[in-house]
Structure 1
Amino acid sequence: MSTASLVFSGRGPVSDATAARVRAAAQELAYAGPNPLASSLRQGRTGTVGVVVEGRLGDAFGDPFALTVLDGLARELDAIPAALLLLPREPGDDSRLLAQLGAAAVDAVVFALCGPRDDPAVDLLAGRGIPMIAAGAPVDPRVPQLLVAERAASAEVARLLVGLGHTRIGHITLPLAPRVPTGPVAPAQVALASYPDGAARALGVLDVAPDARVVQTTIADVASGEQAARLLLGVPAHERPTAIIAQSDVLAAGVLRVAADLGLRVPEDLSVTGFDGLDLPWVDVRLTTVVQDGQARGRALGAMVAAALSGASVRTTHFPTHLRLGETTGPPPTR
C-alpha cells in the first residue's frame, strides 16, 4: 500500500520499474488512484480556501481591483499550498452560498471583497470550526478583519476639494445594499446601509461636505459610473456639481466619459476623484485617488489565512492607504 501511495503521489524514491508495475496493476484493476477526499480526511486538510464573492463571478472578473486582490491572495496561498474556491453570492439571496458552504470541503473562508455587515454564513462556518478572515465585512467578533480607514480616507478627499474652493460636490457610491437601483440617496439612508465599506466612504464625504449630493450605483463598473454621473451633471449649470468624488476608480472613469460627452473640461470645469489607485489603460489622465494596493491587500489576507491554519491567534489589523494627487482636481470654475 505504501509503495502504491508513493507512486501515485509522485513524492517517493520508487524505481521506474516498480512504478511501471504499480501502474500496470492499477490499469488492470481499473483503479484511478487514491480518493482525494479520503486523503484530506486523513491529513485533516483539504488544501482549499473558499473565497466569497459578492454577485456573479463574471462581475468579479470584470472588476480590476477585485482581480488584483484575488491575485495577491492566490500568490500568498501558493506557499501553503492551497487552491482558491470562488463562491458567488447573489445579492440579497444567501441560499445558494449557504448550500455551497455547507457542502464545501475547505480549510478556511475569506470574505475578500465588499459584502453585507450581517452574514448568516458566519454562524454556519463557526459551527463547522472553519477559520474566517474578512476585509471589512461581515462584522462579527468571530471574524478577524483586515481593515481600511474608509471613512477617514474619503474625508481626506473631501477636505482636498473643499480646500480648493468647491461648494457643490457630488458623491457616487458603491452599492450600499443588495439589489439597489442606481439613483439618489438621502444622507439619512447612508448610515443604514448594509454594506459597511460604501457606507463608511459616504459618511466620510458627508462629514466634510454635508450638502453633497449622493448617488449610489448598482454595481461598480464604468457603465454605472456613467449613469450616476449623468444624474449629477444633467442639471442646469448653476446647480451642477463642480466636483465629483467616486468610491472607485472605475466609477470615476465613467464620470470622465460623461464629462467629455458634455464638453466639460477636467479639472477646469469639473474635478473628479476615485478610490483604489488602479492603473486603468483606458483613462488617459492621472486620476486623483485614494491608493490601496490591491495585490498587497490580497497578500495580507493570505498571510492571515496561513497564520490561522497554523494555529496562531489572528487579530484584526489595519491596511494603509494614501491620497495621490493627480491631474483631475483643481479649483472650481470662476464663471
Structure 2
Amino acid sequence: MTPSRQTSKVTLKDVAARAGVSISTASLVFSGRGPVADATAERVRQAATDLDYAGPDPTASALRQGRSGAVAVVVEERLLHAFRDPFALAVLDGLAQELDALGLSMLLVADHGDGESNPLAAHAVDAAVFPLCGRADSSLVDHLVARTIPIVGAGAPAHGSVVHVMVEERAAQADAAQHLVDLGHERLAHVTMPLAPTPPPGPPRTVSRGEIADAAYADARERALGFLDVAPTGTIVEASRADVAEGEAAGRLLLDVPAAERPTGIVAQSDLLAAGVIRAAESLGLRVPDDISVTGFDAVDLPWLDHTLTTIEQPGEAKGRLLGNLTRRLLAGENPSDTPFPVTLRLGDTTAPAPH
C-alpha cells in the first residue's frame, strides 16, 4: 500500500521564495495596494498557481491589524425592498464607493427589529452604518456600543453614540407644500411613507396629527409635520410602503371623490409615491399639472415617468459618500459631529397654478 503523502500548508513565504522576491513584495501583489512591476507580479502569481496558494488568510490579516475589514450596513426589513428603491440604491452605491476606497467591504444586514435576533452577534465588523432613516431605536445599537464599534446613521437610530448625516426633513417638506400654496392651492393632501415598522394591513388610510406625532420613523414624522406647518387642515394618507403601487392606491383614495372634495395639490414623501399618485390621477382622467399638482422627495431618476417631478432634491450617492466619509473619520480615531446634508426644491412640470 502506498503511504499517503504528508503535505503542509503553503504560505506566502513559500510563494515569495519560489518567485524569487521578498515576502513584502509578494504581499503587495496580493493586496493590490502597492507598485509592483508587471513582470514581477506575474512571477508571483505563477508561483502561487504552481503551489496551489489561494492567497493570504484574511482572518490572520485581521488579527494582525486588529481590524476585520468589514463594515456592517444595516437595512431594516427585507433587503429586497431596499434594492427596489432607486434612492436607497444610490445611497448604498455612494457608501460602497467610499468604503471600497478604504479597502473595506460591506456586510449587508437586514434588521427586522424584533428585539430577539441579533444578526451581528456572530460577525466581526469595524463599524456599522444605518444608511436609510428608519426606527428611532434599534436593539442593535446597544450591542454595537458594548463592543465599542463606531456607528454612523442617517437620522436614526436616535442615540448619543451614533454620528449622523442630518437632513432638515421638516423644513424641506414645508418648502414643497409652500410651493403649492404660493401657486394658489388651498386644498392640499399629503401621502406619507410608513410611519411605523408594521403599519396596519390593508390599503392606504388617513391618519391623524396625533398618530404622526407618535410615529416611529423620524423622517416620515418630520416630513408630515413640515406639511402640517404649511397646511394644518390638509388630509394625510399613510402608505404601507414607499413604492409606486402604494402611491397609486393613496392617489385613488384622495382623488376618486367629488370634485369639490378633491385636493388640487398633493405632497408625497417620495418620488415613487408621487409617481403612483400621478398614475392614479391620469387613470381617473385628471391632467397633471392642470387639474392636480404633485410633488415628490429625493429627485431620483424615473425615465419611465412622462413627467419631470417637482421634488426635493436629495442626491443619494452624495449622501452615501458622506456616510462613508464619517465612517472613515471614526475609524481614524476622529470625533466628528453630526453633519448637515442640504436639500433643495427642484421645480419640474408636475406643479402649476391651482385650477379655477
Q: Fold conserved (TM > 0.5)?
A: yes
- The answer (yes or no) to whether the contact 2:133–2:153 under 8 Å persists in 1 is no
How far did 1:2 drift?
6.0
Aligned mates of 1:247, 1:22 — CA distance in 2: 54
Aligned mates of 1:17, 1:327 — CA distance in 2: 60
CA RMSD of aligned residues (A): 2.1
1:127-206 matches, cutoff 5 A: 127-181=146-200, 182-206=204-228
Aligned mates of 2:323, 2:257 — CA distance in 1: 43
How far did 1:138 drift?
0.4
Deviations 1:123-155 (A, max 9, x none): 100001110000000011110110000000011
Is 1:3–2:13 an aligned residue pair? yes
- The structure 2 residue matched to 1:263, chosen from 282, 285, 296, is 285
TM-score after normalising by structure 2: 0.86
- The answer (yes or no) to whether the contact 2:12–2:55 under 8 Å persists in 1 is no
* Number of equivalenced pairs: 327
SS of corresponding position for 2:101: coil
Q: Give the aligned partner of residue 320 of structure 2.
A: 298
How far did 1:54 drift?
1.6
Counterpart of 2:138, as a letter, is D
Instruction: Describe the shift of the 1:18–1:329 C-alpha distance in structure 2 as closer, same or farther (beyond 3 A).
Output: closer
Q: Give the aligned partner of residue 93 of structure 1.
A: 114
Q: Give the aligned partner of residue 278 of structure 1.
A: 300
Counterpart of 2:257, as a letter, is V
TM-score after normalising by structure 1: 0.92
Counterpart of 1:79, as a letter, is A
Greater CA deviation, 10-19 or 193-202? 10-19
- The structure 1 residue matched to 2:62, chosen from 27, 37, 40, is 40
How far did 1:158 drift?
1.1
Deviations 1:241-290 (A, max 9, x none): 11110000011000111111000011111000000011211111111100
Instruction: Describe the shift of the 1:21–1:269 C-alpha distance in structure 2 as closer, same or farther (beyond 3 A).
Output: closer
How far did 1:10 drift?
3.1
Aligned mates of 1:280, 1:22 — CA distance in 2: 48
- The answer (yes or no) to whether the contact 2:166–2:338 under 8 Å persists in 1 is yes
Counterpart of 2:349, as a letter, is E
Aligned mates of 1:160, 1:314 — CA distance in 2: 35
Aligned mates of 1:222, 1:126 — CA distance in 2: 37
- The answer (yes or no) to whether the contact 1:174–1:218 under 8 Å persists in 2 is yes
Give unpaired runs (5+ residues) of structure 2: 1-10, 16-22
Counterpart of 2:261, as a letter, is E
Q: Give the aligned partner of residue 287 of structure 1.
A: 309
How far did 1:200 drift?
0.2
Give unpaired runs (5+ residues) of structure 1: none
Deviations 1:311-331 (A, max 9, x none): 111210100100011111112
Aligned mates of 1:296, 1:15 — CA distance in 2: 36
Rg comparison, structure with higher value = 2
Deviations 1:192-211 (A, max 9, x none): 00000000000000011011
Percent identity among equivalent residues?
52
Instruction: Describe the shift of the 1:38–1:162 C-alpha distance in structure 2 as closer, same or farther (beyond 3 A).
Output: same
- The structure 2 residue matched to 1:121, chosen from 129, 135, 140, is 140
